[in-house]
Structures are given as structure tokens and as C-alpha cells.
Amino acid sequence: MRTIEHFVDGSSFAGNSGSTQPVLNPSTGQAQAEVVLADKLDVDTVIAAAAAAQPAWAAFNPQKRIRVIMEWIQLIHANMDELARTLSLEHGKTFDDAKGDILRGVDVLEFSLGAPHQLKGEFSTGVGTGIDTFSLRQPLGVVAGITPFNFPAMIPLWKAGPALACGNAFVLKPSERDPSVPVRLAELFIEAGGPAGVFNVVHGGKDAVDALLDSDTIKAIGFVGSTPIAQYIYERCAATGKRAQCFGGAKNHAIVLPDADIEATADTLVGAAYGSAGERCMALSVVVPVGKETADRLRDALVERIPSLKVGHSLDPEADYGPLVTADARDRVRRLIGEGVEAGADLLVDGRDLDMSSQSFEGDDLAEGFFVGPSLFDNVDTSMSIYTEEIFGPVLCMVRAQTLEEATALPSEHVYGNGVAIFTQSGGAARDFFTSVNVGMVGINVPIPVPIAYYTFGGWKASGFGDLNQHGPDAFRFYTKTKTVTTRWPEAGSTGPEFSMPVMN
């Protein structure tokens, strides 16, 4: 069986922990490879390689660094099909969706090409007699990214692009569930002319993460994953004085007003709720129609569409979505659906017993794959676990509201605050909504409002810890520290010592 190793100092590294974990194909439930898991000594080896490579990389002028990134982008495009296929086979998302995962990451590499401009400092002349002040941005040194399974290309690239463009060395600890694409991206960085040791990948679970958190050499951690781990990492970083931005889970609501085009909205909701099997941090998992008539029409439109969705092997071009990532993930989604039924919500479409036993794709038997069919609940209330918890599966919950105010209060008061959307033809209602809702990213007739690379991405409340977002201008602030220099070139000859606090007269 293939072994996926760490990638350190420009080459593969097996590590010495002796610990491995199977990497599954979620469409078949079968192991397709194993990944090595680092212990503290392995992580220390990776960090040492990064620390040795970083000063020379920082000394490259910014233009030289972005030329490497430019070439890297070309190589990613040249290898797109292979990357998307590998990603699809390890994650379970469809091939086209896997391409989207990679392309949204490349967007941030393209944005990172603006580093020479973004890293320019400020200059003020004559702040005092003969005194000028200027600021410069310097890299932090060695920084780490700890990333989730659900975007194994996009999120590593969101971290790596700006971190590297700023002159840092980068250690990526990707999800151990789909580790191949992150390694391939690091290999392509080297092929693009990146120096060995500047971009390293170390695999592992909690032991590897804790070793990164305990290292004095690592100066910043960019984390994306579930909220309990985000909070844990944020707190550990605060305790040791590390810079941290930690993004967590989500429960994204879609508000549907009576003036919305119900048929178009239903099409949009089906894609945003069930696409990628609901395993997107910006998936719409709650829909809030306003008024009974809107709710009834929307319910009927959704119930009509769901049977035509095709769930299949991730590489099946006919499939709308594929399996969940693991059997545990599938079982958890099934359990939560059961809890919704017990709590009294109306399960209009039940995807728990989707039968794939007679299905195969290109010789792969799907009977043991981790599939869940699309599921739809009506009359969900806010005390139910299907509402309070992130399900992270193909389940859409309808919570009925009577007014826009009542609807807006739901995402505003939810513990998570990642994304939210409103569907309406009223500019005034949309404006009231986006100004008042207590959520970080808002879509107006846009179901998955992932901002474009030159704006920042970040949720509020339990969806994000730390004060700078991902990509956009915040990324350059996160991956650099500002130095401020005050200069004076006095005339020859001493004026004697001064003992009072210097003030600018």
C-alpha cells in the first residue's frame, strides 16, 4: 500500500514515530494508502528545516519571491486534473467540486502576487526638527498552518500563499484524512523554484499539533477546523504569546422573504445545502422562510427537487455529491437526524437509509461507501440539536419565522456566526439585514458568500477566534510584524545630554 510521508527540506521524510493511519476512499470505504503520523521529534525535525531555510528566503527581494509563486500557479494549473482526482478520491467531493477547491486556493496565490505592494511601509517626513519616521513590515520567521479535511487544497493555499510571499517559512499540518494533495502542492512549490525547507508538510493528529504549539520557533498559527479545537489552539497560543487566528464551525442560515423568487431560491438552496455532502463551512444548513405562505411554497419546491439529486462515487460525472469523509462522519449525521425526529421536527425527506448496495462505478463497489442521502426537516425549533449543532452533512433544517426581525434574530443569536444569506427583491430589506445581522459574511441572493481573495474571510462568535481574518489585506498583517523607525541626522557637534522625555515641538 502507498505510504504518504512528510515533506521536509524539499524531500519526503518517513519520520521515526512508527505510527501510521489508513487513508480511505470514502466512496468505497476501503483503505487506499496510509499516512505517517509525526511525534514531537519528527515535528522538531521539520521545524528545524524551516528555521534553517527562512533567513535566505526572507532575504530574497519580494519580487523574486512572487516569481516563484507565479511559476507555482502555472504548475498547479498544469497538474489540475491529477490534483483534483486525488483530492476527490480522498475527500469524497466530486471532481468538479475538487477543482473548485483548488481554484479558490489559487485565487489567494494570485492575490499574494501583490505582496511587494502590500509590504510597503509608511513614511512621514519632518515629524520633528530634522526627524523622519517610517515603518516596515518584516516576516515573523517560521509560521504554521493547521487545516481541516474539507478543503485540503484551498485552505492550505490560503495560509501558504501570503505567509510565503511575506518571507516566512511555512509548516503545514494538513488533515490526516486527505493528506496527499497538500504534499503534492509542496512538491510543486519546489518545482517552481522555491528553496528547500521553505514549505514543509508534517502529518499527524494531536501530538503533532501540540508539538507545533509548544515550539518557541513557531511564531504564528493559522488554524481552520472545528470550534472546540480552534478554541483550544487559540488559548494555547495566547498562553505562550504566539500569534493565532483560529476559525471554527458554522451554522449558516438562509432567510427567504415573501418577495423572493421561490423556484430560483429552491434551486440555489439545494446546491448550497447538499453540495459537497454539506461538508462546507459555508454550506447552508438552516433555511428560514418568512410567513406561512413562503414556507409552504418553499417546502413544496424543495421536496419536489430532492428526489432528482444523484448521490454517487466522487468521480462519477453524473453525481451531484459524493460520500461523507468517514464512517464516523456518516454515523454522526444519521444520529443527529434521529435526534431531530425524536425531538418532534418533521422529517420530510430521510436520507439515512440510502441504499447503495447494488451500485458500482468503474469497478468500485459502493456498498461500503459513507453515503447519506439528502435530508430535509420542517418545523425545526431552536432548542433541537439539529439546530444548535453543526451537522456537517446533507441535512437542511427549515425554521419558520413570522417577520424579518424574527428571522434575523436567529443567525444573530446562534452561537456560530460564519455565513448567512438573504433572498429577496427588496433592497431596503436586504440593507437592514446586512447592517444588523450578527454574522461575519453575508450573501444577498448569494447562497455561499465566500468573499473573493482580495477581501477577507472570517466568521464571528464561535466561528472565529483572533482579530485578523484570512486572505485579503489582513493576511499580510497577520504574517508580518511592523517595525517603526525614527531617524535624525544631526549637525556635527554635541548639544549635551537630554534627560526629559523627548517631545515633538
DSSP 257: -
- Among the listed ranges 203-211, 284-292, 367-375, 377-385, the one in contact with ligand NAD (CB under 6 A) is 203-211
Q: Could you tell me the smallest distance in angstroms from the CB atom of residue 278 to ligand NAD?
A: 10
Under a CB-based contact definition with an 8 Å cutoff, are residues 470 and 458 in contact?
Answer: yes
Q: Could you tell me the smallest distance in angstroms from the CB atom of residue 14 to ligand NAD?
A: 19
Selected binder of ligand NAD within 249, 340, 369, 411 (CB under 6 A):
249
What is the distance between the alpha carbons of residues 148 and 31, in angstroms, rounded to a whole number?
20
What is the distance between the alpha carbons of residues 166 and 66, in angstroms, rounded to a whole number?
9
| Size, binding site for ligand NAD by CB under 6 A | 26
Classify residue 108 as left (phi > 0), alpha (psi -120 to 50) or beta. alpha
150 forms part of the interface with ligand NAD (CB under 6 A): yes
Which residue's CB is nearer to ligand NAD, number 113 or number 391? Answer: 391
The footprint of ligand NAD on residues 280-299 (CB under 6 A) is 281
Whether 246 is catalytic is no
Under a CB-based contact definition with an 8 Å cutoff, are residues 84 and 77 in contact?
Answer: no
Selected binder of ligand NAD within 49, 146, 266, 349 (CB under 6 A):
146
Which residue's CB is nearer to ligand NAD, number 148 or number 373? Answer: 148
DSSP 417: E
DSSP 326: S
Under a CB-based contact definition with an 8 Å cutoff, are residues 179 and 83 in contact?
Answer: no
- Among the listed ranges 10-18, 149-157, 183-191, 363-371, the one in contact with ligand NAD (CB under 6 A) is 149-157
Selected binder of ligand NAD within 147, 245, 265, 294 (CB under 6 A):
147
- Among the listed ranges 129-137, 205-213, 251-259, 430-438, the one in contact with ligand NAD (CB under 6 A) is 205-213
423 forms part of the interface with ligand NAD (CB under 6 A): no
171 forms part of the interface with ligand NAD (CB under 6 A): no
Q: Are strands 346-349 and 375-378 parallel, antiparallel or unpaired?
A: antiparallel
Which string of x and - marks every residue 386-415 that binds ligand NAD (by CB under 6 A)?
----x-x-----------------------
Residue 135: which H helix or E strand, with range?
A: strand 131-139
Which residue's CB is nearer to ligand NAD, number 430 or number 453? Answer: 453
* Residues contacting residue 376 through CB under 8 Å, at least 6 positions apart: 302, 303, 306, 347, 348, 349, 395, 396, 398
* Phi, psi at 133, each rounded to 5°: -130, 135
Selected binder of ligand NAD within 9, 101, 107, 176 (CB under 6 A):
176
Q: Which residue has the cell 425524536?
A: 342
Under a CB-based contact definition with an 8 Å cutoff, are residues 289 and 376 in contact?
Answer: no
Please give the distance of CA 420 from its chain centroid, rounded to a whole number: 16
Q: Could you tell me the smallest distance in angstroms from the CB atom of residue 291 to ligand NAD?
A: 30
Q: Could you tell me the smallest distance in angstroms from the CB atom of residue 484 to ligand NAD?
A: 32
Classify residue 329 as left (phi > 0), alpha (psi -120 to 50) or beta. alpha
Q: Are strands 30-37 and 19-25 parallel, antiparallel or unpaired?
A: antiparallel
Please identify the residue of the shown chain whose CB is closest to the bound ligand NAD: 225
Which residue's CB is nearer to ligand NAD, number 162 or number 225? Answer: 225
Please give the distance of CA 31 from its chain centroid, rounded to a whole number: 25
- Among the listed ranges 224-232, 308-316, 361-369, 487-495, the one in contact with ligand NAD (CB under 6 A) is 224-232
Q: Could you tell me the smallest distance in angstroms from the CB atom of residue 213 to ligand NAD?
A: 8
Q: Could you tell me the smallest distance in angstroms from the CB atom of residue 154 to ligand NAD?
A: 9
Catalytic residue among 166, 237, 246, 281: 281
- Give the residue ranges of DSSP H helices in 60-136: 62-78, 80-91, 95-112, 115-118
What is the distance between the alpha carbons of residues 386 and 103, in angstroms, rounded to a whole number?
32
Q: Could you tell me the smallest distance in angstroms from the CB atom of residue 103 to ligand NAD?
A: 16
DSSP 225: S
Which residue's CB is nearer to ligand NAD, number 25 or number 424? Answer: 25
Q: Please report, in angstroms and rounded to a whole number, the separation of the first and last CA atoms in the chain.
A: 74
- CA nearest neighbour of 6 among 56, 33, 45: 45
175 forms part of the interface with ligand NAD (CB under 6 A): yes
Which residue's CB is nearer to ligand NAD, number 148 or number 443? Answer: 148
DSSP 321: B
Q: Could you tell me the smallest distance in angstroms from the CB atom of residue 250 to ligand NAD?
A: 5
Residue numbers annotated as active site = 281
| Residues binding ligand NAD (CB under 6 A) | 146-151, 173, 175-176, 205-206, 209, 224-226, 229, 247-250, 281, 390, 392, 418, 459, 463
